[in-house]
Amino acid sequence: MLKISKKVIDRVSSTLKTYQNIAQSHKSKDVSEADTVTLVKDILAYCFGYDKYQELTSEQQIRGTFCDLAVKIEGKIKYLIEVKAAGVNLNDSHLRQAISYGANQGIEWVVLTNAVEWRLYRIKFGQPIDHEEVSSFCFLEINPKKEDDLKKVFLLCREGISSDAMDTYHQHTQILNKFTIAQILLTDPIVSVIKREIRRLFPEIKVDTEQITDILNNEILKREVIEGEKVKETQQKIKKITTKLTKQAQTEKKYDKQEFESNSSNET
């Protein structure tokens, strides 16, 4: 999904421990927000690979107020960063502030951090404005030898920006998640496979599809993956794709039939 170069791995591996120690120290000493902003800029520059003076903009003005940092590549803001003091626990009011900055500026991606916790959000520009958390990690716990940790860091790296890693990762997580898998398990083809396998293993047992669906819904799958807005969105997405595939299959079948009839006519 994400191709992380050796250059990125080497840079993160060589600098990570130093800035993890500084972040831990800042958290313990409960330093000011201004000092945390300085640390975040250093992490972005020396761990994540940005040009500290050309690509990191401090105090980005947004409708009379200021966001702490903005990552700007070739004059275009890629994501905004709202920074809180290292000793402060990130909360919903901080998130609303970060989302407000991004929405007012028309920026899709925002980061909320206190140098220890890093949270990446994607803003959904609709009525009303909405958002979703795409990735999060504790900077103190990042291990460069773990691929999953590197992927999360890579999303915020300079090289990740160049390869549209945020969009790629977001699209991947939109498809490969618990909601999609749960809804696929409940589709007729999968329920039929389960029914067929039960009959094969236990021929003396009579079972119908409704029984299997009820067991999946009420005894196996958690409520969070079968109820709620996210579930409805996933159901609509699967239904749309299924309809599209059905139409494609019908068109191909019709074309094959026409081609067969045309060949038969020519042979005659």
CATH of the domain at 76: 3.90.1570
Instruction: Please indicate, yes or no, whether residues 66 and 193 belong to a single structural domain of this protein.
Output: no
Tell if the pTM clears 0.85, that is, is over it.
no
Q: What is the pLDDT of residues 41-94, one digit of tens each?
A: 999 999 999 999 999 988 666 555 667 899 999 888 999 999 999 999 999 999
**Helix, strand, coil % over all residues of the chain, rounded to 5:** 60, 15, 25
Nearest CA among 66, 58, 64, 130 for reference residue 99: 130
Instruction: Please indicate, yes or no, whether residues 116 and 25 belong to a single structural domain of this protein.
Output: yes
According to the model, what pLDDT value does residue 229 have? 79
Domain containing residue 209: 178-267
Angle between helices 6-29 and 147-154 (to 10 degrees): 80
Q: Is residue 168 part of a domain?
A: no
Instruction: Please indicate, yes or no, whether residues 26 and 157 belong to a single structural domain of this protein.
Output: yes
According to the model, what pLDDT value does residue 40 have? 97
Q: Is residue 170 part of a domain?
A: no
Q: Is residue 52 part of a domain?
A: yes
> What DSSP string describes 145-166?
TSHHHHHHHHTTSHHHHHTTHH
- Six-digit token string for 186: 């409940």
Nearest CA among 107, 112, 111 for reference residue 91: 112
> How many structural domains does the chain have?
2
According to the model, what pLDDT value does residue 267 have? 61
Instruction: Please indicate, yes or no, whether residues 121 and 205 belong to a single structural domain of this protein.
Output: no
Instruction: Please indicate, yes or no, whether residues 138 and 87 belong to a single structural domain of this protein.
Output: yes
According to the model, what pLDDT value does residue 263 have? 65
Helix/strand/coil for 57 = strand
Q: Write 66-72 long-range contacts (CB < 8 A, 24+).
A: 67/98, 67/101, 67/105, 68/33, 68/37, 68/40, 69/37, 69/40, 69/41, 69/44, 71/44, 71/161
Q: Is residue 172 part of a domain?
A: no
Instruction: Please indicate, yes or no, whether residues 42 and 98 belong to a single structural domain of this protein.
Output: yes
Nearest-Å Rg of the Cα atoms of the chain is 25
Q: Is residue 226 part of a domain?
A: yes
According to the model, what pLDDT value does residue 13 have? 96
CB 67 within 8 A of CB 54: no
Instruction: Please indicate, yes or no, whether residues 201 and 246 belong to a single structural domain of this protein.
Output: yes
Nearest CA among 162, 134, 139 for reference residue 42: 139
Distance CA 68, CA 123 (A): 18
In the chain, which residues have pLDDT < 50?
none
Q: Which of 132, 163, 194 is the last residue of a domain?
A: 163
Q: Which of 105, 135, 163 is the last residue of a domain?
A: 163
According to the model, what pLDDT value does residue 1 have? 58
Classify residue 104 by burial, with Cβ atoms within 10 Å: 0-12, 13-18, 19+: middle
Strands 65-73 and 56-62: antiparallel
Instruction: Please indicate, yes or no, whether residues 134 and 182 belong to a single structural domain of this protein.
Output: no
Residues in the chain: 268
Instruction: Please indicate, yes or no, whether residues 146 and 261 belong to a single structural domain of this protein.
Output: no
Helix/strand/coil for 268 = coil
